[in-house]
Amino acid sequence: MTRILAYRFSAFGDVAMTVPVFKEFLEQNPGVEIVMVSRKNFEALFAGVPNVIFKGINVDDYKGFFGLRRLGDELIKEFKPDYIANLHDVIRTKILDKIYRRKGLKVFKINKGKEEKEHLTDVWNLDKVQLKKTVERYADVFREMGFKVELSQKLRPVSEHKSGIGFAPFAQHKGKMLPLEKSFELARLLAQKHTVYFFGGGKKETETLESWESKIPNTKSLSGKLSLNEELQKISELEVMISMDSANMHLASLMGTRCVSIWCATHPYAGFLGFGQSEDDVVQVKDLSCRPCSVFGDKECYRGDWACLEEFSIQKVVEKI
């Protein structure tokens, strides 16, 4: 059995995107095992994936060069890998790469396409094109090792019984998130015909969604009430998920649930559309040449008016549903 030690520590959505890649890679390469090293609280994402061993760590326990050297030594001692797959390529993982190379291990790392993404998000670039999907960038790491992997880009439903609509109106950055009054109105319109379940996390989001539940009949807030395992189970039972360009889109992909995704300052061209999700289910403001102005939605609006958020028509989402 060939053993690959892979690591990616954040962000939640990016780690979730590794799962369908691992599944298909391991199905096509039965003599391989992956040890995935990531944050402890991401463990449920990898539950039940054959030939994946999840190693959860607390990143704060391994600070600085000496902390990372200790982590590197512990992982080698415990797992004795044949190859190293750096699926993150940040300072922390670059240091781990160096440690492993010095020990004579073969290290392969993701090409994140930094320059292409900088060009894509240049507001003066009017010739924007689709970049390689992130899931293909993950698969490329294994291809470089000499393995074959063809990604199907097809959803695999986990549950046969599906009902209701999931709605995750939050995202980490303002540029990825509809104004809350628009999201509230969208929920109100959808709840006239469908049961709508709200997804979120953290105190503030939970308070907001509980207040929406009390104001809109036929809605239920699940925010702060479910473990990650339970949340995934619920997503698998939905007819459709509505999500910003955020982790919930990728959780829907994991569970084989179709997702209508909302893109504001960001754009599917950057490669972050959920695995198996259809471009036909993408909703965005057309004819804004400044989009995407960032890959993660974390920049201030270049125009100053946040047109990608303010001009967004929720009616488009209602029509998709």
Q: What is the pLDDT of residues 65-79, one digit of tens each?
A: 999 999 999 999 999
- One DSSP character per residue, 268-321 reads GGGS-SPTT--GGGEEE--S-TT--S-SSS-SPPSSSS-HHHHT--HHHHHHH-
Domains of the chain: 2-144 (3.40.50.2000), 165-320 (3.40.50.2000)
pLDDT in tens, 226-240: 999 999 999 999 999
Q: What was the pLDDT predicted at 24?
A: 98
Question: Which pLDDT value is given to residue 172?
Answer: 94
- What is the arithmetic mean of pLDDT over 284-301? 94
Average pLDDT over residues 272-296: 95
Helix ranges (H only) for 80-218 are 91-102, 114-120, 134-144, 180-190, 203-215
Q: How many CB atoms lie within 10 A of CB 174?
A: 16
Beta bridge partners of 106: 83
Share of the chain above pLDDT 90, in %: 99
Question: Rounded to 5 degrees, what angle do the CA atoms 169, 155, 187 make?
Answer: 20
Does residue 266 carry a pLDDT above 90?
yes
> What type of residue is 291?
R
pLDDT tens digits for range 23-46: 999 999 999 999 999 999 999 999
Q: What pLDDT score was predicted for residue 39?
A: 98
Q: Which of 237, 240, 211, 210 is nearest to 223 (CA)?
A: 210
Q: Render pLDDT for 49-100 as a digit per residue (tens, 0 to 9).
A: 999 999 999 999 999 999 999 999 999 999 999 999 999 999 999 999 999 9
Confirm if 87 and 9 have CB atoms less than 8 A apart: no
Q: Does the global pTM surpass 0.85?
A: yes
Q: For 204-227, how does the pLDDT look when each residue is reduced to its tens digit (9 = 90+)?
A: 999 999 999 999 999 999 999 999
pLDDT at 287: 83
Q: pLDDT category, 47, cuts 50, 70, 90?
A: very high
Predicted confidence at residue 286, as pLDDT, reads 84
